[in-house]
Amino acid sequence: MTTPAAFQPLNAQHIQRALSTKSFGRTLHVLEKVPSTNTHAATLAQDNAPHGTVVVAESQTAGRGRLGRHWHSPSGKNLYCSVLLRTMPARERQPLWLSWIPLIAALAASRAVQVTTSLKPSVKWLNDILIGDRKLGGILCESSGVGTAHATVVVGIGLNVNVRRDEFPDELREIATSLAIEAGHPCDRTALLAALLVELETRCESFLAGNHGDILKEYMLRCSTIGQRVRIELAHGEQMDGTAESIQADGSLRVIRGDRTTADIRTGDVIHLR
């Protein structure tokens, strides 16, 4: 009896057969267990790994979120993936590119889920992937050598695929979800990864070719934060409440405060208020 695709371990040959990308995933490292796929990809970058190198792992022992937060990474169930980018636009466009990569990755991940499962995740600014108000996945982008000829960005994507509700730790059970929970059946990680890589590659190419406006429009349509009452948790424990109005050209979130003044938020955690 053959194992259904959804339960098969990740396999480099199967993944490469499913790819329709130009460079993303053409150099591919499929690992059983790593501390963090982002850290592993950064090490490969130092050893001259090519643009588009992908690291995927069955489990992470030290999976990371932003600001040193922990990413729950149980074995054999989910997608933990990092993509190494070496393409950089001209110097004056680099800040824009770096601020848009996490948003582009969140768009690509939500679109990949939609094409492989027909679920339609939204994106919570700036890079949380949600179904309803539960977190399906997150993005961690880390750059190095910016401003030099050897600049790299590692785009890390974590998506909960086949983990069951009872398998989440207590602190995540009510705030996180997985594709299997939402779809009611297990999902094929190989097909999802192949879709993710092509969605990410085409958007990165499009952005770098100057189609910034198209990505901004697509992001606005996907972003469930727009129009919501929000609380922004800023650095140093500061908070700001307001209504999220739009995404600006630089990827920041425009918030209208109660006194009608506006603020463009470049980084911070957003809470959707009811």
Alpha helix segments (H runs only) across 19-83: 37-46
d(CA 81, CA 79): 6
Q: Which is nearer to ligand BT5, 196 or 212 (CB)?
A: 196
Report the first-to-last Cα separation within the chain, whole angstroms.
49
Catalogue the E-assigned strands of 28-144: 28-34, 54-60, 79-85, 122-124, 128-131, 134-144
Which positions from 65 to 84 touch ligand BT5 by CB under 6 A, shown as an x/- string? Answer: xxx-x-xx-------xxx--
Say whether residue 29 binds ligand BT5 (CB under 6 A). no
Q: ∠82-85-91 over CA atoms, to 5°?
A: 145
Say whether residue 60 binds ligand BT5 (CB under 6 A). yes
Say whether residue 139 binds ligand BT5 (CB under 6 A). yes
Task: Give the shortest CB-36-to-ligand BT5 separation in angstroms.
Answer: 3
Contact 54, 27 (CB under 8 A): yes
Q: Which is nearer to ligand BT5, 64 or 189 (CB)?
A: 64
Q: Which is nearer to ligand BT5, 40 or 111 (CB)?
A: 40
Q: Which is nearer to ligand BT5, 52 or 158 (CB)?
A: 158
Say whether residue 162 binds ligand BT5 (CB under 6 A). no
Contact 78, 163 (CB under 8 A): yes
Per-residue tokens: 202: 């085409």
Segment interacting with ligand BT5 (CB under 6 A) among 132-140, 185-193, 198-206, 236-244:
132-140
Say whether residue 120 binds ligand BT5 (CB under 6 A). no
Say whether residue 268 binds ligand BT5 (CB under 6 A). no
Burial of 36 (0-12, 13-18, 19+ CB in 10 A): buried
Task: Give the shortest CB-53-to-ligand BT5 separation in angstroms.
Answer: 14
Q: Is 227 left (phi over 0), alpha (psi -120 to 50) or beta?
A: left
The contact set with ligand BT5 (CB under 6 A) reads 36-38, 60, 63-67, 69, 71-72, 80-82, 128, 135, 138-140, 156-158, 160, 172, 176
